Structure formats: structure tokens, C-alpha cells
Structure 1
Amino acid sequence: MAWRLLLSTSYIKPFRLLPPPPPHQIPSPILNINNTQFHYNNSNKTNSRALNLRGPIQRRAQDKNSAGSGGVSDEQAEVVRRAQQGDPLWAIKSSTISDLIGLSLNFFYVLPLLNYAGIHVLEAPVLHPMSEGLFNFVISWTLLFAPLLFTDCRRDRYKWSLDILWGFQMFLTNTFLIPYMAIRLNDKDLNTPQKQTPLASLMTNGAQVVGLIGGGVCLLSIFWALFARGDGDFGNITDRLEFLGSYLGSERLAYAFIWDICLYAIFQPWLIRDNLQNVKPRYQKIVRNLRYIPVVGLVAYLVSLDDTAGADI
């Protein structure tokens, strides 16, 4: 699943609308944003625009390496840029690729659980439980979105294949949901009725099963992230939470996961609200109240679907 590598924008160089003003017009320091101070060094005559960056990530390293030097070198600036944005797409580290392959092999914890059961047809890669839990949590939530999309009462506004849309969502990024959420607001075109595809029929007819599987894997992901691989050198819950903080602040894969979670948290209550008529009447109030809770509201929607939900429109 090489999909998450494409989401990070770390390979996009930051742009500047206007050139920086001459250094003699700027006091030092000029600004303090989010505990990050920006200094222009006027004493360096050979490079009057040398920018001295001092932020929470690079402050200690810069104090050590550039004390008394009156600025930062190009090499130091590149280190700072990569620390803040990650490696460019064409310079992805081999460790990132290895982690991505390992996470994909541990999809839904099938291999690790088989190994725990004594079945060793293929050995599961040993990765940090936090990264495994975050990966499978997002994938499970994506699975849960399939019946929701295929029962959306406004899905006929989307003129392309919902199967392909969900495939992109599952194996690339749920950013593809953004244009769908806009297109579904259009007026209905009565000349282009939409029929169910085999995938849509499978997901809607088995919505209760999908809901239980997806919700179960999401719950397992939380447990896995906090307690799994206790015999490994992954520490206690506090150590794992500290790893999560550093993981979210440095890894392009983590950026993608958080982006997915944020979009799902917005789109889930929106879509459930528009499709409450698909829920059995006696459960509509419960689903309406739960729709804002990530994953839980979507599981409630799926297990409460009426048998006629998702019919041809």
C-alpha cells in the first residue's frame, strides 16, 4: 500500500509572494511565532540575508553547531527543512519504505495473530505497536465508509464509479472524498439513474457484518497500540504515548493518517445526518445522537440499516 507516501506535501517547496526586505530594515529579533524566533544577522557581510532559525525542533542543535558562527550554512538549513517537512518524495528513506511494507503485511493483524496462534507460514514484521495501531485504525474506518457511501441518498449526483472512488479512498487517500462531498450537493439529474454494482450490493447487504468487523478492528487497534508486543522493547503506555508524539511530528506516514482521521471525523456526521432515513425508525434517535463520535456513530448506522437502504435510485 504505497498510497500514504503520496499524501505528504513535504516535497513541495514553500513559496514566497514577496522577496524579504533588506536586513537593515528589520530589527532583531523580528517576530516570535509559536515559540519560534526568527533573527536576521546583520554582522555577516558576505551573506547579509543569513537566516538564523531558532525553533523547538532545532534550537539545541543550532546552539551547539552554530554558536559564534553568525548564521546557518546551507547544509544546516537543509537539515532544518527536512526536520520540519520530511524528506522529499524522491529521497524517501529506505526505513520509511520498509515500515510501509511491514504495515501492509500486518493488515488487520492477520499475520501477527496467526503467529501468536503458532501458525508461521509467514513471519509478521515486528513494528512499533503504535504505528501498527494507527495504520489499521484508519484502514478499518475506511472499510466502514463503504456501506455509508453506497447507501448515500445523494450518490446519484456523482456521475463516476463509486467503486473506484472507494478504492482510491481505501488504497490511496480519503482526500478523494472532498470533491465527492461537493458534487453530491448538486441538483438531481433525473435522466441518469444509478444502479447498484456487485460491490455496492455486497457492502450494503452485509452492512451489519462490515460494521462489526470494522468496529472490532478499530477497538483492537487501540488495544494493540497500548498493550501489544509487551515482550518487546516498546515500553509502557507512557513510553508508547511519547513515541506517538514523536511519530506524529516526524513521519510522513503519520501526517497522512492524521489527515485521514480529520476528514473522516468531519464527513461521518455529515453523511449520517443526510441518510438517517436509511436507519430503522426505532434506532434513528440513537444514531442521530451517536453520529458525532468517531467510528462509534458509523458502526451504529451500519448495524441499524433498514433492509431497503441502498436500493437503486
Structure 2
Amino acid sequence: MPAATLLCTKTFIYGNQSVIHGRQEYNSAFGRNVKLSETSSRLGLKLKVKKSIQLGRRRPVFTTRAGGGDGVDSVIERDDKLRKLTQAILWNAEGVYVLWLFLLPYAPGDPVWAISSETVNDLVGLSLNFFFILPLLNAGGIHLIEAPVLHPMSEGLFNFVIGWTFMFAPLLFSDRRRDRFKGSLDFLWGFQMFLTNTFLIPYMAIRLNKGDSEYPPRATSQLGSIMTRGASVVGLVGGAACLLSTFWAFYGRGDGDFGSISDRWEFLLSYLSSERLAYAFIWDICLYIIFQPWLMGDNLQNIQEDKVGIVRYLRYVPVVGLVAYCLCLDLEDEN
């Protein structure tokens, strides 16, 4: 079989180099050896690396040249089928999510079209206690607005999910595939803060679209710039909110009649099986456990070079991985 040639044009900042030696590529940007795949070896692929210096994001671009391209075409076709299958699964998941959690009456609690006034009042109270700002102010003697008194387990669960959602902002605004989403990322993340995966699932599907070469990468919005430049603050605030939420759920409002830890745990189980909002939060947590390592794995090139290794492993740890991404985001690369 004639040897096919694969040309890899990769953009590096500050002149990081890629060196081919034998059958290994050493990439100094990540400080590790990357072996050529067995598939490439069987197809007789020759890898060439073209080095260039360009301001902006690092974008690997792969093109093929004539000569024994059947094997390469089969690999590309297989990847394209996998991409389409993943998109189909995500769009179906979105349909199930909306139907099951919002419209159908079979899940615990009331659907959105039959929501009770008690649920609305609880939702308003939870929103007022966002990140425990009002309860903490009241505890410190500041009573400009009195915080609604709700069960600490429900407050803890609500703020845990919101704190986790808050930390997705730097990840979304630095996602290398964000240009495939033609809408506003500002609105997407804003709605995600209120309706979580209702908007994140479609984004995960849309970002798998093929790149559109007709449109250049869009400039980052003002909100996006704030969230990426202040990623470390976002990570610390979101991580602290999640940590405080866990503590608050088991020990918060100790002067109230909310019982011991076992009593609170029993309340949580009852809450999850009777309230649609709480039940939906469990879905959100499960989906975040999937989407966090997925998005982070696609964007490890945004991490400071000496922190890539630790972030690669921490991305599988719920919440903690996203905190690590925010703290280790390479701001020079994003700027």
C-alpha cells in the first residue's frame, strides 16, 4: 500500500516545539511522549509537524494527501458515524429530560403545568437564599431582608447544584468548540444557572457539529472575558459554595427543629421522592458527572502546561475537577 501522508499543522504560543524522532512525537508543550497509534502504523502514515507561531487559541488542523487514502477515509468515516450517534443520543436525552421532568406527571412531584403554590414558594425562598447570602447576613446581625427559613437539606441541595453550575462558566467560555454554537453563550450560561441541563444538553450536541470554515471565531463577549479572566475567583467561590452547601445540609440552622443528621437524611430521601425540583437536581448531578470530564478532556490545552497532568486526573472528580480547571486555566492563552 502506498504510504499516505498526514500533515499536522499545530499552532503553539511562545514557540513550543514538536519533534519527531523515530516513531515517537515529543510535544514540549505538554511535556510527554505521544506514540503514533497502531492504526497509523498499519496504514503506513507518515506524520509531519509544521511549526508556527500565532496569537490566539491552539488549533490542531489535520489534512490528508493523496496516496493510499482508503484506510484514512475509513477511520474518518467511523469517527463521523460515532459523532452523529453521540449527537443523536444527546438530542434524545434532551427530549427525555424535558418530557419527564417538566411535562409528564409520572416523576415524583408536580409537572410544570400543575405546579403547586407551595412548590413555587419553596423555589422563591431557595432563590432568595442563593449562596446563603441572606442567612449569613442575618446570622451576622444584618436584617435588611429576612432570609426565608427552609429545611437546610433543601437549601444545601439547591446551592450545591447552583455552585457547580456557576463554575461551568469559564469552561464554556474557553471551550475550543464553542464557535459551533451560533447563539449567545451569555444567554446559554445564564439560563443554565436557572434551568441547568435543559440548555447544557443541547450545547453538548451542537458543539459536535462539524466546524464551519466560512465564519471566523467570534470575539469573546464581555461576560466571557470576565469569567475567563476571573476563572480562579469563579472556581474558589463555586467550590466554597458547594462545600458550604454540604456542611449546611447536615449542620445548618442548628437552632431550628430540623433534627439530627439521621433525621435530615430521612428528610432528604422523602424530599427526593416527593418534590419534582429535588428529583430534577439528582438528574442534574448525574449529567454533570458525565459532562464535566467530557468538556474538560476536550480543553486540556487551555490549562497551564505544568498543571495539565493533575487536571487530567481530577476532571473525573465531581466539583473538584472543575475547581482545578478554573484555578489552572491559562489566561495568557485565552487572551
How has the CA–CA distance of structure 1 residues 309 and 244 changed in structure 2, closer, same or farther, with 3 Å as cutoff?
farther
1:201-245, Cα deviation, whole Å (9 max, x unpaired): 000000000000000110000000010111111111111111111
Q: Is the 8 A contact 2:108 2:273 kept in 1?
A: no
CA apart distance, 1:272: 0.5
Show the counterpart of 1:290. 314
1:234-257, Cα deviation, whole Å (9 max, x unpaired): 111111111111111110110221
Q: Is the 8 A contact 1:152 1:310 kept in 2?
A: no
Q: Is the 8 A contact 1:157 1:187 kept in 2?
A: yes
Work out whether 1:9 is the aligned partner of 2:32. no
Show the counterpart of 2:134. 111
After superposition, residues 254-293 of structure 1 pair within 5 angstroms as: 254-293=278-317
1:111-159, Cα deviation, whole Å (9 max, x unpaired): 0000000011111111000000000011111110000000001111111
Structure 1 counterpart of 2:151, from 112, 128, 134:
128
How has the CA–CA distance of structure 1 residues 309 and 238 changed in structure 2, closer, same or farther, with 3 Å as cutoff?
farther
Q: Distance in 1 between matches of 2:195 and 2:102?
A: 17
Tell me, what secondary structure is at the counterpart of 2:183?
A: coil
Residue type matched to 1:208 in 2?
Answer: S
Residue type matched to 2:101 in 1?
Answer: T
Q: Distance in 2 between matches of 1:309 and 1:134?
A: 35
Show the counterpart of 2:248. 224
Tell me, what secondary structure is at the counterpart of 2:238?
A: helix
1:62-102, Cα deviation, whole Å (9 max, x unpaired): xxxxxxxxxxxxxxxxxxx7xx6423434322221111111
* Identity rate, percent: 68
Structure 2 counterpart of 1:167, from 187, 190, 193:
190
Show the counterpart of 1:249. 273
Stretches of structure 2 that go unaligned for 5 or more consecutive residues are: 1-97
Could you tell me the TM-score, scaled by structure 1's length? 0.72
Q: Could you list the runs of 4 or more consecutive aligned residues of structure 1 that deviate by over 6 angstroms after TM superposition? A: none
How has the CA–CA distance of structure 1 residues 10 and 201 changed in structure 2, closer, same or farther, with 3 Å as cutoff?
closer
Number of residue pairs the alignment of both structures matches? 237
Q: Is the 8 A contact 1:151 1:309 kept in 2?
A: no
Q: Over aligned residue pairs, what C-alpha RMSD do you find? A: 1.7
Which structure shows the bigger proportion of residues in strand conformation?
A: 2
Q: Distance in 1 between matches of 2:158 and 2:110?
A: 20
How has the CA–CA distance of structure 1 residues 106 and 7 changed in structure 2, closer, same or farther, with 3 Å as cutoff?
farther
Show the counterpart of 2:121. 98
CA apart distance, 1:260: 1.4
Show the counterpart of 1:207. 231
Show the counterpart of 2:164. 141
Stretches of structure 1 that go unaligned for 5 or more consecutive residues are: 1-5, 14-80
Work out whether 1:189 is the aligned partner of 2:207. no
Q: Is the 8 A contact 2:110 2:275 kept in 1?
A: no
1:176-224, Cα deviation, whole Å (9 max, x unpaired): 1112112212222222121100000000000000000000110000000
CA apart distance, 1:309: 4.1
